Structures are given as structure tokens and as C-alpha cells.
Structure 1
Amino acid sequence: MTIPNSNKIYPRSNDYQIVYLKNVITKPNIEVGEYTIYNDFYDDPRDFEKNNVLYQYPINNDKLVIGRFCSIACRAKFLMTSGNHTLRSLSTYTFSIFGEEWNEALKPTDAWDNKGDIVIGNDVWIGYESIIMSGVKIGDGAIIGTRAVVTKDVPPYAIVGGVPAKVIKKRFSDNIISKLLAIKWWNWPEEKIKMNIENIQLRNINNLK
């Protein structure tokens, strides 16, 4: 494990397809937790902000928030507010952002329906080429299937897939899910996590210390 808050970009020596995402983010409206990784075997994974976070214009003040220990697969996309042309109008054309052409009194923010931030919990696995839409909240421990299009909130520890994405099943029983959400192992200090990695991997929830 890397030391939290370090500037290490690549988790593994001589592997330049995977990055610790937090350490390549520069924009203040994208927040990423420790140890979250992004893999890209087409493009430079350091270009996540440019290639994967789409339509995030500063005027809307929307945020992408990603928790700790998430795994984000190649070409997963996050479609922010400015990808949602307004449905309140009689036209979906964005007149108000072209004020110099049409009416400078129009407010640019009226061009879109702002559904809010995208918030990803901790220990979430986001599959290859999946798409997360504006305003969606994904709970801790959830799995987003390959090429799923997520338009609605996802419960903790749910597996979702399809277009639009729907819950396929829960990863664990309600009892185990409740315990995991109470334990919140992802917030533990590094040394405590190291001591419990075997219990986490072998599903020994009652042995977590």
C-alpha cells in the first residue's frame, strides 16, 4: 500500500495503465478518496478528467465525488449536468449559452436541467465502459456491470447492469451488509487494514478487528 496523502501515481512498478486517481486530479470539483484506482489500456489514465468526466462546465458548480478503495475500469464515463439539455423548455436547443447570438439577457444555467452531483461511495467497482448519469448516488460496495447505463441511485452492495441499469442481486445478506456499513473498514488506518486483509478477502466478517 502507498502512504495516504502521498503523491505516488502508479500503484505497481512498471505498470502505467493503472493510477491512484486522487493523485492525478487537478480540478476542485472532482473529489477522490485514497487508494481508488483507474485503469485505462487505450489512453493515458492520467487524463481521466479530460476523457472520463464529461460535460462538467464550471458554471453549473456540479461535483463528482468518489470514495476510497474504488476500482474504475477502462473508459467508464461520468456524464455531468451540462449533458442534460433542459426538458423544461419547448426546445432542447441551448439558446441561453449562445446569448450573443440570441438574447444576452438569458441565463446560461437555464440551458440544462441540473440534477445534482454524482456521488460514488467507497469500495465501489465500476465496470468497463459503464456510464454514470448526472445526479446519481452509488452506495458503498456496489458493483456496476460492464456497459451499464446508470440513471438512478444504486443501493449499497447491489450489483446492477443493463440499459438502463437495474439491480440484479445483492452481494451479501442484509445482515452482512448492515455489519459492513457499520464497520466501514475503508476508513480504518492503513495498519489496521493490513492486519485484516485476509479476513476481508476470505469474507470472515466476524473476525474483523
Structure 2
Amino acid sequence: MKQNRFEHWSEIKYLKDIVTNPMITVGEYSYYSGYYDDHDFEDGCVRYMWGDEKSRQLFNPIEDYGWHIDKLIIGNYVCIASGVIILMGGNHNHHSDWITVYPFVDQIETSYAPKGDTIIESDAWIGMNAMIMPGVTIGEGAIVAAGSVVAKDVAPYTIVGGNPAKVIKKRFTDAEIEKLMEMRWFDWEREKIEQASHILSSSSINRLYEFYQKEILPHV
């Protein structure tokens, strides 16, 4: 068992500081809160993903087989709770349409079928013990409830939950979501985000939009 790298449940690790796998792209200020899990982010939260140091030493499916390997792409200000599992491309060799789902070694080269990149867009929150299936896109501002299994794309600013995860509700009205998707606050300069943090920490999208029109748009 790996040593738990977290000293307390309140501690977080910024993904930029801990991710080494070149197949994983992470944005600014996105974090993993893994105190209650006994795995590292890249060796437990993210599973079956080629590209870590050991797997690169063992084999190279890109050069050996010509596979297109799925990537994990994480935006800015994403919150990932303890126990989250993000399933990736290492086990895409099971075919339900074949007579057997067993991955015979001599058929590995031809049996692999990519699922597509897994994308967690900015400002999404993945709740404790949720599982993200391969090839899913979780939209910006979305919330995945604890213990959910996400097998389909999640729309921006939508709350989903259950197994399989289904829409619980939208976080805001369609008009408000349209404004949020226009503003993309998580892409602003950090200084501007800190300047607007008191608005971001409220439910007043109109106030944020006023700030955006005054402080952001003139400099775009």
C-alpha cells in the first residue's frame, strides 16, 4: 500500500504540481483532495492509463501497434474529491460483439479500440467516489454527485447523480448559463479572478456579467 501523501482531509494537491504523465493535460488551480484514498492521483484516481514512467518502460503501444491512445484533459479550477476513479484506455480490448470478451495476447494488437479523450472542463466538481467512464466529457461548471457512475457526457452547469448518472437539475437558468459560458471566468487572469472572488462566491451572475463588461471585455 502506498503511503498516504495527504496529512489531513483539508489538504489538497494542485494537479499541476503532481501530474507527470504526458498523456494528462491539466489546467491552472485544479486540485485533487485525496486524503481518504490510499493512492496517488496518477496511480489510483486515474486508472489503466498508459504513459506513466513504468508503463513507458514496459511497452509503447503507439510505436509498437500504432494505437491512438486516449488522453485525459482537465481544465482550470476543477475539484476532484477523494475516491474518484477516472477509467482510461488500458482495458479497451474487451469486445461485447465478439464471441469472447477475453483479451487473448495474440489478438491485443487488433483488439484495441479507443474510446476518445476523457475531458473534464473547467470549474467542474467531481464528488467523492464517483466513477468517470472512458471517453466522457464533463462540461464546464458541472457537478457530479458522490458515488455516481458517469457513462455519458454531462452538459455545462448541470448536476448529475446516480448509477448510471442522470440529470438532477441545471444549476442556473438557460440565460444565466449562456452568460457564464460567454464570460468563462476561469480563463481570466488570476488578478481579475481574485478581484471578482466575492462575486464568484455569490449567486449573482448579473453582477459578474457587469464586472466582465467593465473589467474584462475592454481588454480582450
Query: TM above 0.5, one fold?
Result: yes
Distance 2:120 2:109 in 1: 25
1:168 matched residue in structure 2? 168
Alpha-carbon contact 1:86-1:110 (below 8 Å) kept:
no
Q: From the superposition, tell whether residues 14 and 54 of structure 1 become closer, same or farther in structure 2 (CA, over 3 Å).
A: closer
2:214 matched residue in structure 1? none
1:4 matched residue in structure 2? none
Aligned-residue identity in percent = 43
1:89 matched residue in structure 2? 98
Give the alignment's TM-score, normalised by structure 2. Answer: 0.79
* Structure 1 residue 206 displacement after superposition: 2.0
1:79 matched residue in structure 2? 87
Distance 2:166 2:9 in 1: 34
Distance 1:14 1:131 in 2: 23
Alpha-carbon contact 1:22-1:34 (below 8 Å) kept:
yes
Q: From the superposition, tell whether residues 44 and 35 of structure 1 become closer, same or farther in structure 2 (CA, over 3 Å).
A: farther
* Structure 1 residue 203 displacement after superposition: 2.0
Distance 2:109 2:121 in 1: 28
Number of equivalent positions:
188
**Counterpart residue type for residue 182 of structure 1:** E
Give the secondary structure class of the aligned counterpart of 2:114: coil
Q: From the superposition, tell whether residues 14 and 48 of structure 1 become closer, same or farther in structure 2 (CA, over 3 Å).
A: closer
2:216 matched residue in structure 1? none
Distance 2:102 2:9 in 1: 44
Q: From the superposition, tell whether residues 82 and 111 of structure 1 become closer, same or farther in structure 2 (CA, over 3 Å).
A: farther
Give the counterpart of 2:43 among 28, 50, 67.
50
Gaps of 5+ in 1: 1-9, 100-105
Distance 2:201 2:191 in 1: 16
Distance 2:205 2:10 in 1: 34
**Counterpart residue type for residue 79 of structure 1:** L
Distance 1:144 1:110 in 2: 34
Query: Residues 140-177 of structure 1, C-alpha deviation per residue, up to 9 Å, x if partnerless?
Result: 00000111000000000010000000001000000110
**Counterpart residue type for residue 48 of structure 1:** F
1:203 matched residue in structure 2? 203
2:125 matched residue in structure 1? 125
* Structure 1 residue 44 displacement after superposition: 5.9
Instruction: Return 66-75 or 49-58, whichever deviates more.
Output: 49-58
Give the alignment's TM-score, normalised by structure 1. Answer: 0.83
1:3 matched residue in structure 2? none
Gaps of 5+ in 2: 52-60, 62-66, 212-220
Q: From the superposition, tell whether residues 110 and 205 of structure 1 become closer, same or farther in structure 2 (CA, over 3 Å).
A: same
* Structure 1 residue 109 displacement after superposition: 4.2
